[in-house]
Structure 1
């Protein structure tokens, strides 16, 4: 990154490839908390500020559940909950029902369709494998893709980047799993919460 023409090292809180972050893109930086002096929090895309910080999406999801904006009637029972040797972001409960939830940050789009992943994701594939087992036991399981990209109207797995993720995602849905797309503003306000179906 360059600040006033000077090259500086910046911490990027996202493990993806971030293909939309191209040279010349305007970005937002915050003071770093670790070894590097700056932390990248967002970028300018199609005239809007977009979050690329994958570390904030769990906090947003938790807040939206607690406020009753999504999954009304459900409560967060645990975060970082382990199932079959794999940690999941949240375990939700409603009466005797349990729902296993994995939240993913989505920072890639094409023609108004949010795409995930933007890099091959072994972790994402393993989450789907366990979720398929979970819903196979008759329980509710879901993936929530969170993005602040502008103009988004739907979601698809990014088969070009990780075809196995796409295959597992479709199997997960066909077995009764659920997927949602959460659209939020730069300020963290939930704008829409859309159910995902794909072919």
Structure 2
């Protein structure tokens, strides 16, 4: 997945969830739109370099969108949660996810379930059970080097696990797909200490044959600028 052209600055602060102030190399200060409603633990430290895209849409109040954080340790974090689904869509279309490569048809954003949910991707192929995929953007890196999800209590995520468990019990394929968008993450665990209920439902889902996949995004740098992400490396499968 290629980024639009990116510019960089130094993060001053993130506030009101959707806004961030950045200082540009020329000293100018601008406000970015932050497309991430999560806690963003470790992803929004003042002083880190941030990379942002710019829209030419005159109707936008904030023309710039925060895409990546570059930490003091040299790791890149994709903070734009919309990119997770775009990465998975690209990987599905190109058959980069071995466990899902046999499906022929990809349908994004399909309604399903008893709790009125919307699945990120529904895969179909004649003669095979339908496959329901829920994508989770994962950016939390703990002090001991482990990537975790969620980074805050998530009732929405709990609902998704209940829905996927029911899908699996009905004989369909159900997948929760953790897209690792932090280059420093090399192992993964569910964050039991942050959301014990989510961890409990995660275990129940696994006991009911919900498949857990975890793939790490690779960042592509050209002329000292990030230009693209690819989702090809499996951490867990």
Range 159-168 or range 146-155, more displaced? 146-155
Deviation per residue, 1:112-163 (Å, 9 max, x gap):
3221111221111111110111111122101111123124232211122211
Corresponding residue for residue 132 of structure 2: 100
Query: Is the contact between residue 76 and residue 90 of structure 1 (CA under 8 Å) also seen in structure 2?
Result: no
Query: Is the contact between residue 62 and residue 76 of structure 1 (CA under 8 Å) also seen in structure 2?
Result: no
Query: Is the contact between residue 22 and residue 32 of structure 2 (CA under 8 Å) also seen in structure 1?
Result: no
How many residues are matched? 196
Find the structure with the greater CA-based Rg. Answer: 2
Structure 1 consecutive aligned stretches of length 4 or more whose deviation exceeds 3 Å = 4-8
1:62 and 1:2, CA in 2 relative to 1: closer, same or farther beyond 3 A? closer
SS in 2 for 1:165: helix
The 5 Å alignment of 1:136-147 reads: 136-147=169-180
**Displacement after TM superposition at 1:6 (Å):** 4.8
SS in 2 for 1:73: coil
Corresponding residue for residue 229 of structure 2: 188
**Displacement after TM superposition at 1:81 (Å):** 1.0
Correspondent of 1:115 among 138, 148, 169: 148
2:218 aligned with 1:169, yes or no? no
1:136 and 1:112, CA in 2 relative to 1: closer, same or farther beyond 3 A? same
SS in 2 for 1:153: coil
SS in 2 for 1:10: strand
User: Structure 1: which 5+ residue stretches go unaligned?
Assistant: none
**Displacement after TM superposition at 1:182 (Å):** 1.2
The 5 Å alignment of 1:55-94 reads: 55-70=82-97, 71-84=100-113, 85-94=116-125
2:54 aligned with 1:28, yes or no? no
C-alpha RMSD of matched pairs (Å): 1.7
Query: Is the contact between residue 141 and residue 184 of structure 2 (CA under 8 Å) also seen in structure 1?
Result: no
Query: Is the contact between residue 154 and residue 181 of structure 1 (CA under 8 Å) also seen in structure 2?
Result: no
Deviation per residue, 1:14-46 (Å, 9 max, x gap):
111101121211111222553213211000133
1:163 and 1:7, CA in 2 relative to 1: closer, same or farther beyond 3 A? farther
Query: Is the contact between residue 116 and residue 156 of structure 1 (CA under 8 Å) also seen in structure 2?
Result: yes
2:76 aligned with 1:49, yes or no? yes
User: Structure 2: which 5+ residue stretches go unaligned?
Assistant: 1-20, 220-227
Alpha-carbon separation, structure 2, partners of 1:48 and 1:109:
11
Deviation per residue, 1:62-111 (Å, 9 max, x gap):
11111111121113441111112210101112333211000111111123
2:42 aligned with 1:16, yes or no? no
